Amino acid sequence: MIDRDEFNACMSSARQKGLAEGEAKVKERYAARYKKIVEYLRSHGVPEKLLKAAFAIK
């Protein structure tokens, strides 16, 4: 039988792993979205320098 400290350690580890995996999926989704936005803006003649400056802002 495991004690409370072991249980908490296991839950913490699982939570951190789940958060990391979820964060990676969100980054992939936004990367695809930003790519589409950049392609659209480029097609309308927005300069590359302006695009880099805009996407550098967080």
Residue 58 has pLDDT above 70, yes or no: no
Contact 51, 42 (CB under 8 A): yes
pTM over 0.75: no
In this predicted structure, what is the pLDDT of residue 15?
92
Summarize pLDDT for 4-50 with one digit per residue, the tens: 999 888 899 999 998 899 888 888 888 888 889 889 999 999 999 98
Confidence of residue 53 (pLDDT cuts 50, 70, 90): confident
The rounded distance, in Å, linking the Cα atoms of 39 and 49 is 14
In this predicted structure, what is the pLDDT of residue 47?
92
Q: 23: left (phi > 0), else alpha (psi -120 to 50), else beta?
A: alpha
